[in-house]
Amino acid sequence: MSTSPIRDDSPLASLLPRAPRCLRLAELPTPVERAPWLDGPAAEVWVKRDDASSAVYGGGKVRKLELVLGNPPHDGDAPIVSIGGLGSHHLLALALFLRPLGRTLHAWTFDQVMTPHVRTNLAVLMSCGARLWSVRSRAALPWAALGYYVWARPPQMGRWMTPGASSPLGALGFVAAGLELAQQIEAGALPRPARVYITGGSAGSSAGLLVGLALAGVGTHLRVVSAVEPLFFNSFALRGLARKTLATLRQRGLPAQGGLDGLLARAGVTWSIDHRQVGPGYAVPTPAGAAEVERSASHGLKLETTYTGKCAAALRADLESGDARGPVLLWNTHAGNELRARIEDGWERRLPPRVRALL
């Protein structure tokens, strides 16, 4: 069992008679602040600073990991096996939070454009002791599985974790985030946003937030800006995970309130997905996304080109076209931590030769 402290102040505790165990890995609530450089002609923009959610590694991932690492089947001592790109924030977050627990990450990776950001993430991943099974593309991931289960067969096999920790249990971390935002609106930290922008990959953040906003009665439009192609993230995936998340809440004692659609309609919550910022593909930087990363950096807010830069670019496009009116909230799901000090000499030597050649 993990030795991390347990969170006793989760908003889930007051919602659920049988709230799941939740580790205290994050510093919550995260602040909300004005972001005037993102304002449009008819909208004031606010930012939810999940980048400041942890001194170890912030961003949205830690909200999900508090739940998934706190409960079976991922709360034991076994290594965890999961997948992502070479610069995956999910794999990085896992490696950083597993290390102090004396646990190992077995990572099945696929290649992605080797930006300086991706290289740093990979360096930290390897410095945390992660073991890699790498293939060239997402389509080739079954080969990584074969290599792992058939050829390598590590002495202690890893427990499989859904990509992005986006199981219904993980998504509960973002249900809690929706409740957290409602408390901040109530306390006057920001006005109720007409729109909330969040980026989507494996759907856990957006599905959880959708349910959380509805349960808290925050009538708004959730605009989910996809970082991946429609095949990998779409309304089917988002709706499916939101429904399963709601079912998990019911199993834990949430009084029945009809289905997802009824819940959303009663709360006045609507949602849509925007795929227009994906550009040439997942993790390929786009000029619009890169420009937002640069602009926000000059105002002290760290975004990156795979997810949050593209999300800010979508927000800007919607404000300029008049599709969005204020107030608007941009949820910054990217960790703001400076990690270079964690890189250990010789990390490259632990890479499979094919990946080392990509550096």
CA separation for the pair 236, 203 (Å, rounded):
10
Q: Which is nearer to ligand PLP, 192 or 248 (CB)?
A: 248
Rounded least distance, CB 30 to ligand PLP, Å: 14
Q: Which is nearer to ligand PLP, 175 or 321 (CB)?
A: 175
Which residues lie below 8 Å from residue 186, measured CB to CB, with a gap of 6+?
Answer: none
| Chain contacts with ligand PLP (rule: CB under 6 A) | 59-60, 89-90, 164, 166, 199-206, 307-308, 333-334
Rounded least distance, CB 290 to ligand PLP, Å: 15
Rounded least distance, CB 256 to ligand PLP, Å: 26
Cβ pair 184, 218 in contact under 8 A: no
Bridge partners (DSSP) of residue 159 are: 80
Residues 220-254: b if buried by 16+ CB within 10 A, e if exposed: bbbbbbbbbeeebbbeebbbebbbbbbebbeebeb
CA separation for the pair 105, 40 (Å, rounded):
43
Rounded least distance, CB 1 to ligand PLP, Å: 26
Q: Which is nearer to ligand PLP, 74 or 89 (CB)?
A: 89
Q: Which is nearer to ligand PLP, 199 or 337 (CB)?
A: 199
Rounded least distance, CB 327 to ligand PLP, Å: 22
Q: Which is nearer to ligand PLP, 28 or 192 (CB)?
A: 28
Looking at this protein, which amino acid is placed at residue 324?
A
| 45-49 and 32-34 strand pairing | antiparallel
Cβ pair 129, 99 in contact under 8 A: yes
Q: E strands of the chain, at which residues?
A: 32-34, 45-49, 80-85, 105-110, 131-135, 159-160, 195-200, 221-226, 270-274, 328-332
Rounded least distance, CB 289 to ligand PLP, Å: 12
Rounded least distance, CB 90 to ligand PLP, Å: 5
Q: Considering only CA atoms, which of 278, 200, 271 is closest in space to residue 233? A: 200
Cβ pair 187, 22 in contact under 8 A: no
Q: Which is nearer to ligand PLP, 114 or 157 (CB)?
A: 114
Rounded least distance, CB 282 to ligand PLP, Å: 10
Q: Which is nearer to ligand PLP, 206 or 248 (CB)?
A: 206
CA separation for the pair 218, 269 (Å, rounded):
7
> Within 10 A of 339 (CB to CB), how many other CB atoms are there?
17
| 105-110 and 131-135 strand pairing | parallel
Handedness of CA 14, 166, 83, 296 (dihedral sign): negative
Rounded least distance, CB 222 to ligand PLP, Å: 12
Q: Which is nearer to ligand PLP, 29 or 200 (CB)?
A: 200
